[in-house]
Amino acid sequence: MSRIAMISLHTSPLDQPGTGDAGGMNVYVIELAKRLARRGIDVDIFTRATSSSLPQLVEVGDRVLVRHVHAGPFEGLSKAELPAQLCVFAREVMRAEAGHLPGHYDAVHSHYWLSGQVGALARDRWGVPLVHSMHTMAKVKNAALAAGDTPEPAARVLGEEQVVEAADMLIANTSLEATQLIDLYGAEPSRVEVVHPGVDLDVFTPRPGARGRLGLREDAHVLLFAGRLQPLKAPDVLLRAVAVLLAEDPELRHNLVVPIVGGPSGSGLEHPESLADLAHELGLDDVVRFVPPVAQSLLADWCAAATLVAVPSYNESFGLVAVEAQATGTPVVAAAVGGLPTVVRDGHSGLLVEGHDPTDWAISLRKIIRDPQLREHLAAGALEQAHNFSWDRTADRTLDVYRQAAFMMRKDQDVAAR
């Protein structure tokens, strides 16, 4: 393998994670590309241009190139409207490849089902293997909807089924996701490999002085939420749990800080002020602090400064924020859903909560706040747990999957030729 085409149609790896459609997948794509580049592989990342001011090509270090593809209006196009732009996006990807000698790319790696549709076409046109990463799946999301959230449409379910059938290999973030691909989508077990995402251990590390840099008191109890503000991520569960805590122990109010770092996304865009309104209704205006999305280095400060990081999502294919928090030595309180039990070791690096009852969440939050010995134990376990995940390991395993995909494609060709 010397050159890979990555497709990330609906969101650019250059976008700021934490708002709009940008999140853990954006971090995944750019970090994986950088690590592959260090192994001597050129990576072209195709993504849809969302502004006329974006350059057509952006070099992201040696060997990594982001290509902004013009497909549809630059602004005001929701993710639900993107399927109508698949044809023009695919045409422009084909055109970019046609400017090179045949065999320019050795493999296609698509991210999210929309990209997989384009990747399947590129696979057939270029005669190279297709590796696909789902990141999230409609059938899984629809089975665990938050109250008031919008189900994923049938068109997405069908599109995902088509991508699963077309891909030479599928990458799952966790063993649970691999099982879901096989059981819910009929994926062949031999074509599914588990590759955990990583964490940048140079950025997310214990950071002395983080509280001072953020203007937080050293004696404060800091309960952090970081991520996109949408029902799926359930930041409201944290706010309701904090309200329960304060009702039971009003003295906590004097040194409690609840930073909410992120911006509206998905169905949360329909009511961008709803979380602030909830904080007001619950009487939490004095303890909740809303912070716009921040760069990775500043997010690392917020994680390191926190007493704990809450991840109350209704579903997470992996839970990158949980790994990043643990890498700074901060315990995580997470919902026991999706990939989070893989990321967070219950009682060792954090606490897992069954369900989303605010009272249950308040109990777990209180345990860490009130027990310094437990907090110290979990902090040490968090550092240990985070070192099980690295982008270098992710890149090495992904390269293995690319080779498997090439083998599978040749095998299928041999069968078809008989």
Q: Which residues are annotated as a binding site for Mg(2+)?
A: 306, 330
- The 3-state DSSP class for residue 136 equals coil
Q: What is the pLDDT of residues 269-323, one digit of tens each?
A: 444 588 999 999 999 999 999 999 999 999 999 999 999 999 999 999 899 999 9
Range of lowest pLDDT (262-266, 298-302, 372-376):
262-266
Q: Which residues are annotated as a binding site for 1D-myo-inositol 3-phosphate?
A: 10, 21-26, 79, 112, 136, 156
Q: Which residues are annotated as a binding site for UDP-N-acetyl-alpha-D-glucosamine?
A: 16-17, 24, 228, 233, 294, 316, 324
The tokens of 239 are what?
């706010």
For the chain, how far is it from start to end, CA to CA, in angstroms? Answer: 28
Of 388, 386, 353, residue with least CA distance to 367: 353
The greatest distance separating any two alpha carbons of the chain, rounded to the nearest whole angstrom, comes to 77
**Residue 303 contacts by C-beta under 8 Å, 6 or more apart in sequence?**
204, 224, 226, 309, 324, 325, 327, 328, 330
Write the class of the CATH domain 3-198+391-417. Answer: alpha beta
Q: What pLDDT is stored for residue 267 in this prediction?
A: 47
In this prediction, residue 20 has a pLDDT band, given cuts at 50, 70 and 90, of low
Q: 309 to each of 204, 306, 344, how far by Cα in Å?
A: 14, 7, 11
Give me the residue spans of the domains in the chain. Answer: 3-198+391-417, 210-387
Of 225, 295, 319, 291, residue with least CA distance to 15: 295
Q: Which residues are annotated as a binding site?
A: 10, 16-17, 21-26, 79, 112, 136, 156, 228, 233, 294, 306, 316, 324, 330
Q: What is the pLDDT of residues 63-114, one digit of tens each?
A: 999 999 998 887 777 778 888 899 999 999 999 998 888 889 999 999 999 9
Alpha helices, DSSP H only, in 264-319?
A: 274-281, 296-305
**Residue 40 contacts by C-beta under 8 Å, 6 or more apart in sequence?**
2, 63
The yes-or-no verdict on residue 361 having pLDDT over 70 is: yes
Write the class of the CATH domain 210-387. Answer: alpha beta
Domains 3-198+391-417 and 210-387 share a fold: yes
| Other residues' Cβ atoms within 10 Å of the Cβ of residue 277 | 10
> What does residue 141 show for φ and ψ, rounded to 5 degrees?
-60, -40
Q: pTM value?
A: 0.90
Q: Which helix (H) or strand (E) holds 359?
A: helix 358-370
